[in-house]
Amino acid sequence: MADTARIVARHILLLLCFWLPAERRKKLERWLRGREEFMKLQRADWVLMSWGKSGRTWLRVMLSRAYQLMGGIDERELLDFDNLKKHDPALPAVFFTHNNYLRDYTGNAESKEHFRGKRVVLLVRDPRDVAVSQFFQWQYRMRPNKKFINDYPPHGADIGVYDFVLERDAGLPRIIDYFNGWARAIPELGNVLVVRYEDMRSDPGTVLGKILEFTGNPASAEQIQQAVDFAAYDNMKKMEQEKFFKGSGARVKPGDKDNPQSFKVRKAKVGGYRDYFSDEQCEQLDAMVARLDPSFGYGGQNA
C-alpha cells in the first residue's frame, strides 16, 4: 500500500471511530501514525532524527539542493522521503522523524532499538532555544488535533512563553529527557552522527559535507557551496513567502503571512531564548539544562 493510501485509510478509520472516548482515539491515532512511520523506516536509506524546531527544515533544504544538483532535478522539488530517489535511484530515501509516534507502534517507549541497522543523523539544538521556538509553533502553526495527540496545552489556552517552556509535557523538561535518552542509546546503536544546529550556523558547508559523506552521497565542494547559498536565511524567508517548493503543503509556508512569528523560518538565532526572559528566568532555565548529558555541549551558559 502506498504511503498516501495509508494516510487516507488512517483518516477514514478515525472518522469511523469518532464515537470512541477521546483518549482511546488519541491512542489509536498515534498507533496508526506510528505504523505509517515504521513502514517508511524499513525502506529508508538513512534517518534524520530531531526534536521539533531544531533546524530540520533548513537542513532539509540544503540536502534537497545538494541532491538536486547531483541528480539534475528541479530546484522546486523539496526532499520528501523518496521523491528525489524516484528521479535518480542513486539518491537516498531519507526518513525525517522525531521518534514520536514510532514508539506507540513498536512499543519501544525508551529504547531506540527500531533504528538498529540504520544510519542516523541526530540533529540537536540548545533545548532552551528549541522550547521557545516550539512555543511559537504551538501558538501560530500547530493544528488543534496535533496539540491534542501530542499532549501540548489545548488549542486556545492562555499560556505565556515562560510557562510553556516550563511545561512538563511540552517544554524544556521533555526536551531534556529526549536528549538524554539519545545519549544513552548512541553507544548501543553505534551508527549515529550527532550534528549541532549551532555548528551548522557557524559553518554550514562543513557540517553538510560531513552529513553527505556519512550517509553515502558525498558532494563536491561546489555542490555544497551552492546548497548552502540556496538555503541561506534571506533566501529561505523569500521562498517561504512565495510558497516556492512544489507539494510541500504547510511545511515551508507561513501560518499567517502578516504575522512574522507564524513563519516556519522565524529568527534562526543562536541563544535567542534570552530575548524572551528576565535574567532570573534565564538562570532557572540554565539550571534545568545542567542535567542534560554533557556530550551535546550545552551547559548552564549557551554553548
Q: Are residues 9 and 135 in the same domain?
A: no
What does the pLDDT average to over 29-35? Answer: 93
Q: Are residues 4 and 77 in the same domain?
A: no
Among 9-18, 87-96, 138-147, whose mean pLDDT is lowest?
9-18
Q: Are residues 30 and 109 in the same domain?
A: no
Q: How confident is the model at residue 299, as a pLDDT?
A: 72
Whole-angstrom distance, CA of residue 36 vs CA of residue 135 = 27
Say if CB 47 and CB 81 are below 8 A apart.
no
Q: Are residues 106 and 220 in the same domain?
A: yes
Q: How confident is the model at residue 253, as a pLDDT?
A: 52
Does residue 258 surpass a pLDDT of 80? Answer: no
Q: Are residues 161 and 189 in the same domain?
A: yes
Q: How confident is the model at residue 303, as a pLDDT?
A: 40
Does residue 281 surpass a pLDDT of 80? Answer: yes
Q: Are residues 251 and 223 in the same domain?
A: yes
* Adjacent-strand bridge partners of 50: 123
Q: Are residues 163 and 187 in the same domain?
A: yes
Say if CB 228 and CB 62 are below 8 A apart.
yes
Q: How confident is the model at residue 268, as a pLDDT?
A: 61
**pTM, to two decimals:** 0.87
In a domain, 175, yes or no: yes
CATH number at residue 204: 3.40.50.300
Q: How high does pLDDT run on average in the chain?
A: 88
**Which domain, by its residues, includes 21?**
1-43
Does residue 221 surpass a pLDDT of 90? Answer: yes
In a domain, 303, yes or no: no
Does residue 247 surpass a pLDDT of 80? Answer: no
Q: Are residues 31 and 108 in the same domain?
A: no
Q: Are residues 143 and 273 in the same domain?
A: yes
Q: Are residues 171 and 219 in the same domain?
A: yes
What does the pLDDT average to over 241-263? Answer: 55
In a domain, 14, yes or no: yes
Query: For 290-302, what is each residue's pLDDT tens digit?
Result: 999 999 999 744 4
Does residue 159 surpass a pLDDT of 50? Answer: yes
Q: How confident is the model at residue 266, as a pLDDT?
A: 45
Q: How confident is the model at residue 255, as a pLDDT?
A: 46
User: To the nearest whole percent, how much of the chain has pLDDT over 90?
Assistant: 68
Better-scored residue on pLDDT, 251 or 27: 27
Whole-angstrom distance, CA of residue 75 vs CA of residue 213 = 22
Label residue 243 by pLDDT band (50, 70, 90).
confident
In a domain, 8, yes or no: yes
In a domain, 302, yes or no: no
Whole-angstrom distance, CA of residue 231 vs CA of residue 201 = 11
Report the 3 state secondary structure along the chain: CCHHHHHHHHHHHHHHCCCCCHHHHHHHHHHHHHHHHHHHHHHCCEEEEECCCCCHHHHHHHHHHHHHHHHCCCCCCCCCECHHHHHCCCCCCEEEECCCCHHHHHCCCCCCHHHCCCEEEEEECCHHHHHHHHHHHHHHCCCHHHHHHCCCCCCCCCCCHHHHHHCCCCCHHHHHHHHHHHHHHHHHHCCEEEEEHHHHHHCHHHHHHHHHHHCCCCCCHHHHHHHHHHCCHHHHHHHHHCCCCCCCCCCCCCCCCCCHHHCCCCCCCCCHHHHHCCHHHHHHHHHHHCCCCHHHCCCCCCC
Residue type, 164: F
Label residue 9 by pLDDT band (50, 70, 90).
confident
Contacts of 219 (CB under 8 A, 6+ apart): 66, 69, 70, 208, 209, 212, 227
Q: How confident is the model at residue 17, as a pLDDT?
A: 84
Whole-angstrom distance, CA of residue 139 vs CA of residue 170 = 12
C-alpha cell belonging to residue 236: 529561505
Label residue 109 by pLDDT band (50, 70, 90).
confident
Q: How confident is the model at residue 163, as a pLDDT?
A: 95
Among 168-172, 207-211, 222-226, 244-248, whose mean pLDDT is lowest?
244-248
Label residue 250 by pLDDT band (50, 70, 90).
very low
In a domain, 194, yes or no: yes
Q: Are residues 51 and 39 in the same domain?
A: no
Contacts of 130 (CB under 8 A, 6+ apart): 51, 52, 53, 54, 175
Q: How confident is the model at residue 94, as a pLDDT?
A: 98
In a domain, 99, yes or no: yes
Q: How many domains in the chain?
A: 2
What does the pLDDT average to over 3-23? Answer: 84
In a domain, 215, yes or no: yes
Taking the mean position of all CA atoms in its chain, how far away is CA 293? 20
Q: How confident is the model at residue 54, as a pLDDT?
A: 92
Q: Are residues 75 and 216 in the same domain?
A: yes
Q: How confident is the model at residue 244, as a pLDDT?
A: 79
Which of 137, 127, 222, 223 minimizes the C-alpha distance to 173?
127
Q: How confident is the model at residue 245, as a pLDDT?
A: 80
